[in-house]
Chain A
Amino acid sequence: MAENDAMPTLPKKCGPYISSVTSRGMNLVIRGIVLFFIGVFLALVLNLLQIQRNVTLFPPDVITSIFSSAWWVPPCCGTASAVIGLLYPCMDRHLGEPHKFKREWSSVMRCVAVFVGINHASAKVNFANNIQLSLTLAALSIGLWWTFDRSRSGFGLGIGIAFLATLVSQLLVYNGVYQYTSPDFLYVRSWLPCIFFAGGITMGNIGRQLAMYECKVIAEKSHED
């Protein structure tokens, strides 16, 4: 910034390309695409984790098992994650309190890793009963939120997302669109909201981090103007 002092004659106006890229709509689309693919990838991998648990249908072949569940599940997850990831920074902006807590990629990576870990725990660890499983996962999810988010808006949105997503998935199951082969159905229902909550927090974290680029560029632009 002090460079502006030193060299005020350097023109700072942006060309059309940058402004097109940094225009809000374009940026939104790019972020949405990135979030979509992250969501699809996570959906595939986490579905695989659940396959080991035989929660979803077990296919005869391993390779095909990646794409075993219904084809529309990963795109749906991707879309949902894109929406969530765009919703979080948008909400931050509307509330007027930008999220400043641990805004760096390494923190985001930790968040993703912990999210995968929560999924892993839900898939691998044998709990005595479902209450225990639910409580553990809930504690882990809250811990995730506390470690990486700590914003009330994030918490609220996460709760909302968890509720909505659980509702939708249960509706789908009851209508027979999707099915589990879980040994008992309560098992699935007990971890689903926690997973959705943690996923919402994680995608929100990624979305906020991505939005930081936009903020940075826009800030620079406005400063130059």
Chain B
Amino acid sequence: MFGAAAVGQSRWCLSQVKGAIDDDVAEADIISAVEFSHSGELLATGDRGGRIVIFQQEQESKNLPQGRAEYNVYSTFQSHEPEFDYLKSLEIEEKINKIRWLPQKNAAHFLLSTNDKTVKLWKISERDKRPEGYNLKEEDGRYRHPSSLTTLRVPVFQPMDLMVEASPRRVYANAHTYHINSISVNSDNETYLSADDLRINLWHLDFTDRSFNIVDIKPANMEELTEVITASEFHPLQCNTFVYGSSKGSVRLCDMRASALCDQHSKLFEEPEDPSTRSFFSEIISSISDVKFSHSGRYMMTRDYLTLKIWDLHMESRPVETYQVHGYLRSKLCSLYENDCIFDKFECCWRGDDSEVMTGSYNNFFRMFDRDAQRDVTLEASWENGSPGCSLKTWRVCAGSRRKRSEIGVDCLDFSRKILYTSWHPQDSIVALATVNNLYIFQEKPN
């Protein structure tokens, strides 16, 4: 009886849905980045309107390991504004491409956010005291007559309601000719990289007026261009190592110790193409949309259009694990090409202990792969199927027509509803992911 109920059910349950539940979605509200802070206490989302919303985990739920993961709005601010580049007659969107948290250095929190051209460093800090007492005016601003001044008053800090402030600390501009697709903070805590289509630059967090070019794949003649950089990340532990993925499906690992300019990679991770499945779309679907090191630093995960691959950094020839995210779409590539879905850039993420990985799909489905048990689930981000606290139903996509309640036919998938951005709490069994304009937070129930 109990066993039967567990069939088709995961241990994951909906915790919260953020954002308006409305079919009419404003362009600016579309979420474009989701990222947990290093402690998991804060969760940041960025949107196409250039805004960043930060959620904070409720104190009570943090202290109870079994409690629900409740995140509430902590701070909202406008990170980027639309701009116009007059020299190139180019509009620069305010859309947030990536958010990366810095390791915490004092009571305040810091994050890097980027649009296509400019990276910014933001400080999010709390203030619970304010000075009181003026000499020449009342607290409400009315002026006091100077003749009433008989003694000097020094202001005193008094407690006040908690105020959260977000202030821009640095603006790292004018270093990218192409669109920035990745930023990644180095484990030395003082530098970070920013990657665009053809170049990767290295910045010191304290200096906005200079950056060093560490990778440049721009050919002398742009007509010879065959490959672009699509994602890049620093190794979590080795300060000298970073990787970048390309539109051709290969990942290069570079060692900054070897030389100042890392055009020569030290490792190339590439899987030979299977000639039997070669088609017009082969190159498009092999493009790397995300690359993430495992927390341990031993493995690296890459996401291309159809699969998720896990590589051992010691083996370049082929991935140690390959997971089909939505293999059933292979027959649909033609129509996905026509509606541009084939160019969607899905992100992927590791569980805190590296035992599981997660990535998004269409129809608001997301996939989780248990690496040890070789088990995978398809779950749906939806507020209709169950109230908060309920276990999520697992889905199966079948090629033909639907037979069971937990099955859905490929033709019934809604390609406009997709989960591109996902983030896993660094320690706990909590995941956050973005559908078009909603942020979903799920939590795993203990057995």
Say if A and B assemble together: no
Interface residues of B (CB under 8 A from A): none
